[in-house]
Amino acid sequence: MSHHLTTGQRAWLHTELELRQQRLDDLLKRHHEGASRVEHAHAVLADDDEVTRHHAMDREVDLGLTDRDTVELGAVSRALLKLRQAGYGRCESCGADIPFDRLKVEPEAARCMPCESAAERR
């Protein structure tokens, strides 16, 4: 368990992560109208050829947003698991404490800012 976070900070982050998880779950359900990703893609592709051609860009954007939300949901879920165990709030790359101010903005953050910046440059 990371000792640089107070009990109150950990509780706040836990609540924030749970709220984000619920928001993302709801967003994905609404986006798919209750259908699985495969069912959703099939329904989009089932449009007639002319409609499908006109909506090809919409389909790509639609699937891209779903992918982004799914990746974010995975990160939030991993952060919730880590919060219950040792390691939450520590950079996965260098082991340094991730400042609470960063975690307030991005509670699912797995790296400190220098390591995240380096990873993004790669």
Q: Is residue 25 part of a domain?
A: yes
CATH label of the domain that carries residue 55: 1.20.120.910
Domain hosting 53: range is 7-121
How much is the pLDDT for 63? Answer: 73
Rounded to whole angstroms, how far apart are CA atoms 67 and 17? 19
* pTM, two decimal places: 0.72
Q: Is residue 110 part of a domain?
A: yes
Rounded to whole angstroms, how far apart are CA atoms 10 and 40? 37
Structural domain count of the chain: 1
**10-residue stretch averages of pLDDT, the chain, 122 residues long:** 81 96 90 62 63 66 80 94 90 95 95 95 90
102: CB partners within 8 A, 6+ apart? 109, 112, 113
